[in-house]
Amino acid sequence: MLGNIISSLQRYSDELHRDRHPYLKPEVQLFGLKWTVKEAGFGCRPSPTQTSIEMLKNPPPIFGVAPPPPPPSAPPSSNPGINGNGAAKGTTHAGAAGIQRPSLAQNSNGNIIDKKENCPVVPPFDMLDLPTGMRAMGFTKAAYCADRWFRGQAHVIKDGSADIESLQFLDTDTFKLDWILSFGLVKRKFDALKDADTNAPENIYNNKSREALKNVLKRFVDKHNNSCPSPLSTWSYSEQDIQKLHRDFQFQRIKVTMVDVLGGILEISQGKIKNSQIMNDLAASLANFYFYAAVAHATVRTRRYMRYGSEGQTKCTQTTVEVSHIYVYAKDVYSFNDETQTSQYLGHWNRYGVIISAESYAASLLEKEHGSRSEIYLPPVPKNLDRPLDTGNSLLAKQVYYPVRNKDFETWRHLKNRGGDFAIFSDTRKIKLAKPITIDLDEICEIYRR
């Protein structure tokens, strides 16, 4: 495996000297996407200029929320060739973004040209065009998520947050378990969560999970002063609120990584991709996420009795809970938080789709080969490719792709004061346990006083 990767890297290195870089490109077919490797003379060329994805377009206004005021106009410049914003006359300015863009036109060949210089330039691509590119790939749920994020009020959900989100930042209708389970190896993780093997590290029966369940049930029993409803239906108790159910009764989870979503570790042989996909709608929308298990139905039995001793009478209670059903569901947060200083690479995009830098793909294989975290799918692109890539020779809009990273979304949110992270819950699936889980809570005693 490692030898094949090294051989592939050598081929890629040879191509770099010709300024052609290999990349992975999808073709939309009747039954999904077919990914191919474009290399040698069919590789892509980096843009000769360091052009970044644009942030000129503004999202539609939010109903009932006043739009932010326009930036103040700068005083006129004494230099006749410079406008009031400090830019050369004949250019447009992005206001608060501080981004300059030449006046552009499209010629008969489909090229974007600079009117003044009459020469092709890199076609512009705006952040708000990303959903269009996602739809072109058939990634309808990814496009929905991106659209919702762009349209929302600025809102940050930190990693690991346990806060209850308002309806404005909550989605419970878009992602269904049947759809999620149809991708890659995802169902294996779903089944592993309820595996009856007590030694499995991420199932509901192991010792760590039982201890977590015991803590959940103890909080519930303590809250009711040992007078708990039985039988217990947590959905009714939670007032049909998935966030309350998750907060109060979730006790185990299992992580679904990009490797699971895409169907395993990829292999490239003779220019063909085997065993897996490069990207799909689930990867483009949820990427890494968790399946969670929460109590659904349980029987609660509390014994009350007296103990007699030399120090007097002691009143005791001891509660046993038998969990017969659980809810399983997927949960994620749609956000662009980076765990490290290096921002996550999300592919090269334009309005017509996405390509993936092959160097990034090869680097991800090496990371997995040496045991790095499997959820890291696409490491950052090399500096020489951290710019638009032309897959043709003429800088046509359909053939030029822009790199997109997490930090681009964070920058856009800072500039526009928009971009709302939101929590995502799938529908729940109630599962009757073939082997109910019985938890004996600790005995509670206190001195009896008449």
Per-residue pLDDT tens digits for 200-244: 888 999 999 999 999 999 999 999 887 787 899 999 999 999 999
The overall average pLDDT reported for the chain is 82
> Is pLDDT above 70 for 66?
no
Calculate the CA 6 to chain-centre distance: 30
**Above 90 in pLDDT, residue 4?**
no
Find out whether 175 and 274 touch, Cβ atoms under 8 Å: no
Contact 95, 56 (CB under 8 A): no
Confidence at residue 45, expressed as pLDDT on a 0 to 100 scale: 84
pLDDT of residue 247: 97
Q: Is 85 helix (H, G, I), strand (E, B) or coil?
A: coil
Contact assessment for residue 175 and residue 426, using Cβ atoms and an 8 Å cutoff: yes
Determine the pLDDT at residue 83: 39
Closest to 56 (Cα-Cα) out of 419, 336, 415, 421: 415
**pLDDT for 82:** 35
Distance CA 403, CA 411 (A): 14
Q: Are strands 400-405 and 170-171 parallel, antiparallel or unpaired?
A: unpaired
| Lowest-confidence region among 49-58, 222-231, 245-254, 355-364 | 355-364
CA–CA gap between residue 377 and residue 282 (Å, rounded): 14
- The pLDDT tens digits for 72-85 are 554 554 444 333 33
Supply the pTM of this predicted model.
0.81
pLDDT above 50: residue 88: no
* Cβ-contact 113, 128 below 8 angstroms: no
Mean pLDDT of 397-406: 92
Is residue 156 within 8 Å of 428, Cβ to Cβ?
no
pLDDT band, very low/low/confident/very high, at 33 (cuts 50, 70, 90): confident
Instruction: Report, as an integer, the average pLDDT of 138-154.
Output: 96
What pLDDT does 8 receive? Answer: 61
Collapsing DSSP states into helix, strand and coil, what is residue 175?
coil
- The alpha carbons of the chain give a radius of gyration, in whole angstroms, of 28
Average pLDDT for residues 166-193, to the nearest whole number? 96
For position 132, what pLDDT does the model report? 97
Query: Is the peptide bond prior to 231 cis by the omega test (within 30 degrees of 0)?
Result: yes
Judged against a pLDDT cut of 90, whether residue 392 lies above it is answered with no
The DSSP element (H or E) to which 332 belongs, if any, is strand 312-334
Residue 86 reports pLDDT greater than 50 = no
Supply the pLDDT for residue 169: 96
Q: Which of 237, 240, 248 is nearest to 215 (CA)?
A: 248
| 169, amino acid identity | F
Contact 357, 402 (CB under 8 A): no
**Backbone phi, psi, residue 264, to 5°:** 120, 180
Are the CB atoms for 351 and 57 separated by under 8 Å?
no
- Tell how far CA 118 is from the center of its chain: 42
**Predicted pLDDT at 84:** 39
Which stretch of 236-245, 387-396, 403-412 has the lowest confidence by average pLDDT?
A: 387-396
CB 149 within 8 A of CB 406: no
- Spatial distance between the Cα atoms of 388 and 400, rounded to a whole number of angstroms: 6
Q: Is the model more confident about 274 or about 138?
A: 138
Residue 173: pLDDT over 60 = yes
The rounded percent of the chain whose pLDDT value lies above 70 is: 75
H/E stretch holding 255: strand 250-256
d(CA 222, CA 244): 17
Confidence label for 418 from pLDDT (cuts 50, 70 and 90): very high
pLDDT-derived band at 47 (thresholds 50, 70, 90) equals confident
CA angle 338, 340, 343 (to 5 degrees): 55
Higher pLDDT, 274 or 46: 46
pLDDT attached to residue 69: 62
Q: Are 439 and 213 in contact (CB under 8 A)?
A: yes
Report the Cα 138 to chain-centroid distance in Å: 17
DSSP 88: B
Q: Which of 205, 67, 86, 150 has the alpha carbon at shortest distance from 412?
A: 150
**Angle of helix 242-249 versus helix 207-223 axis, rounded to 10:** 110
Which of 23-32, 250-259, 314-323, 348-357 comes out lowest in average pLDDT?
A: 23-32
Go through 73-105 and write b for each residue having 16 or more CB atoms within 10 A of its CB, e for each that does not.
Answer: eeeeeeeeeebebebeeeeebbeebeeeebeee
The pLDDT score that the predictor gives to residue 44 is 87
User: In the chain, what are the helix, strand and coil shares in percent, each to the nearest 5?
Assistant: 30, 30, 40
3-class DSSP state of 81 = coil
**pLDDT value for 375:** 53
- Rounded to an integer, the average pLDDT of 183-197 is 92
As a whole number of angstroms, the distance between CA 191 and CA 203 comes to 9
CA distance 153 to 22: 39
Higher-scoring residue by pLDDT: 407, 20: 407
Given a cut of 60, whether residue 446 has pLDDT beyond it is: yes
| Alpha carbon distances (Å) from 414 to 127, 154, 419 | 13, 9, 9
